Amino acid sequence: MKSKLHIAVVGAGAFGGWTALHLLERGARVTLLDAWGPGNSRASSGGETRIMRGTYGPDQPYTELAARALKLWQKYERRWKRQFLHRTGVLWMVSSRDDEYERGSLSMLRQAQIEFRELSTPDMKKRWPQINFEDVHWGIYEPECGYLDARASCQAVVDSFIAEGGGYRQIAVSAVGLDDAGKGSLRSLTLSDGSRLKADHYVFACGPWLGKLFPETLGRLIRPTKQDIFFFGPPAGDSRFTDAHLPVWGDHGKRFFYGIPGGDRRGFKVADDTRGRVFDPTCGERVVSEATLKRVREYIAFRFPSMKDAPLVETRVCQYEQTPDSNFIVDRHPQAENVWLLGGGSGHGFKHGPALGEMMAELIMKDGEADVRWRISRFSKRQKKSKA
């Protein structure tokens, strides 16, 4: 009997966890490793919530991927009898004169069959009186989207992976010297306890740590940036800023602010999507900046006037694993054909986890090649062009 293909997946966040589960479901023997565990406090998939939306601008692969992810989130929710996607709807406020991004999103949403409505400012004012719509020209509302449970769903994926026969270990890969790569393929991994793990294929889904593991290939392409998240406490008994009365929202003006209304008794979550300074995901101290807090408070006072004096009740610091063009990286390692690199979520990867994991599993099991838009070579082409 032919033995099963053995695949090692390093990283049990949104990208690695779903990949491991899909590989297992396609008949592979899978070993999943994580240094600190799924959705840990250092990981980009950590924390409580993430936005699920399909609005992504013109000419991009993400609306289609989000549509597939929506179907898969639903499938696994049914299978596990648990809810991960809170369908509060997502309201995208267009507060920039230049609405090319949003205009371009509409046909993509239509094509991907993600339900949406275009809303006029008077419509929005009537529906959500707790928002000041000054400077908002129009909006896109996606009723079947909302927010996802982040850390909890990562854990559920790993629990299911183990229950279906996958091998999970909380241990780190200490180094991947590609000196280990023989004739174009990696033979084994060295783990933090000094042991070695041998597999047929390796997937590295190490989020903000990918550049550290592959400094030559990804060191300059994946930049972890510090992102501060704030939770404000609404007045006692006031439910206008909870998910019962407010959708997830994004406000696309000079900056991009976004928020998730308090669910599960948490505060009103608000963040500025502007990329922060470079951040060390292992040793960085997770303390928010006073300057960002000031900017966020000013924004809230303007857009959500009743929350003007709301106290800060919690904060979080996470990091984006930012690529130069904000697109993901899905590719084979240039020197080792059995090594796959999966990452570069760039602040928008979580929602796609189930669909990206499915795609990664199909590529490995069918010996396929990634879409050119996600290959590493796109950056060398750009460098050559800019030198020309």
Binding region for ligand FAD (CB under 6 A): 10-16, 33-36, 40, 43-45, 50-51, 172-173, 205-209, 213, 227, 229, 318-320, 343, 345, 347-351
Nearer to ligand FAD, 11 or 89 (CB): 11
DSSP labels, 187-235: -EEEETTS-EEE-SEEEE--GGGHHHHSHHHHTTT-EEEEEEEEEEPPP
Give min distance, CB of 333 to ligand FAD, in A: 15
Give min distance, CB of 330 to ligand FAD, in A: 11
Count of C-beta atoms within a 10 Å radius of residue 353: 29
Give min distance, CB of 152 to ligand FAD, in A: 13
Give min distance, CB of 184 to ligand FAD, in A: 22
Give min distance, CB of 141 to ligand FAD, in A: 17
Nearer to ligand FAD, 74 or 121 (CB): 74
Give the SS3 label for residue 247. coil
- Please enumerate in sequence order all residues whose Cβ is within 8 A of that of 368, keeping only pairs 6 or more positions apart, or say none: 362
Q: Which residue has the tokens 């990949």?
A: 19
Report how far residue 310's alpha carbon sits from residue 361's, in angstroms, rounded to the nearest whole number. 46
Beta strands across the sheet bearing 312-322: 117-120, 138-142, 90-94, 248-252, 256-260, 268-272, 223-232, 312-322
Nearer to ligand FAD, 153 or 387 (CB): 153
Give min distance, CB of 114 to ligand FAD, in A: 14
Nearer to ligand FAD, 170 or 380 (CB): 170
Nearer to ligand FAD, 12 or 355 (CB): 12
Give min distance, CB of 200 to ligand FAD, in A: 19
Report how far residue 220's alpha carbon sits from residue 222's, in angstroms, rounded to the nearest whole number. 6
Nearer to ligand FAD, 172 or 306 (CB): 172
Give min distance, CB of 210 to ligand FAD, in A: 8
Q: Which residue has the tokens 């696994």?
A: 76
Nearer to ligand FAD, 178 or 306 (CB): 178
CA atoms within 13 A on the CB side of 115: 9
- Please enumerate in sequence order all residues whose Cβ is within 8 A of that of 149, keeping only pairs 6 or more positions apart, or say none: 48, 49, 83, 84, 86
Residue 197 exposed, middle or buried by CB count within 10 Å (0-12, 13-18, 19+): middle
Q: Which residue has the tokens 């928020």?
A: 259
- H or E segment to which residue 119 belongs: strand 117-120
Give min distance, CB of 386 to ligand FAD, in A: 27
Nearer to ligand FAD, 44 or 105 (CB): 44
Nearer to ligand FAD, 50 or 297 (CB): 50
Amino acid identity of 307?
M
Judge contact between 251 and 258, C-beta under 8 A: yes
